[in-house]
Amino acid sequence: MRRFRALLSTMAMAGLCGCTATAEHRPHHAVAIHSEPAGAACLLTGAAEPITEVAATPAVVRLPQSPRDVRVFCTSPGRAPVAATLPAEMDAKQVTGTMVAFGAGPALAGLMVGAGYRYAPTLNVALPPMRFASAQDRDRFFADRTAESRRHFDQPIRVNKGMCRADEFGCQHMIAEMERARDEELARLEKLREVTPASP
């Protein structure tokens, strides 16, 4: 255990992972978000935590280095909402170089906090057109999408609530941010439902 702690300390002092515990100080990856059609609004989250948002595609976002996949939820009037995934891909060359230079311990510890991962430089999101034969069909479709969004957010929210004490400000703040991201996504779905016509 003492040897492992020493490895972690060495990694932190040498900056092997190129980051700190906070996203602000990690290396960032520029990712271009495109949609078909253009002009979609997108919310980006990682493990239900908000990362950033795009007012209208195309746009370039800067994502902190992380081992977590990024969920990109996009909406556009007249188009079906889409939740795409931007996977965190391991950079095998970087990981191997770190292991050769500093050993397996620091390399593995760095992977735990995101070192050695990267995102593809471009994500394309296709939003198919929506047409509904009746208002009931439209409302059923959006009820299903709402249920999917709730499942995505509520499970990690429950897990974190079970682990966080009431006096842990940082943890409670993270939960509040997750709930904010969930409520924003649900609000966008409801707004899209309201402006989506259905055939009489």
Amino acid at 196: T
**Residue 115 carries which DSSP code?**
T
* Contact in structure between 59 and 74 (CB atoms under 8 Å): no
Locate the DSSP E strands across 55-198.
Answer: 59-64, 70-76, 79-86, 89-90, 117-118, 122-126
pTM, entire model: 0.76
Give the mean pLDDT of the chain: 82
| Structure confidence by residue, pLDDT tens digits, 114-153 | 457 889 999 999 999 999 999 999 999 999 999 999 999 9
Q: What is the pLDDT of residue 134?
A: 94
| Residue predicted with more confidence, 35 or 22 | 35
Q: Please state, in angstroms and rounded to a whole number, the distance separating the CA atoms of residues 199 and 4.
A: 65
Q: Which of 76, 91, 95, 6 is nearest to 34 (CA)?
A: 76
Q: What is the pLDDT of residue 122?
A: 98
Q: What is the pLDDT of residue 91?
A: 64
DSSP-assigned states of every residue in 12-60: HHHTTTS--SSGGGS-EEEEEEEEESS--EEEEEETTEEEEEESSSSEE
Q: Cα-atom radius of gyration of the chain, to the nearest Å?
A: 20
∠ Cα 2 109 163 (to 5°): 90
Residue 159 scores a pLDDT above 80: yes
∠ Cα 120 126 128 (to 5°): 165
Read off the pLDDT band of 38 (50, 70, 90). Answer: very high
Read off the pLDDT band of 178 (50, 70, 90). Answer: very high
Q: What is the pLDDT of residue 12?
A: 36
Tokens for 170?
Answer: 């940082």
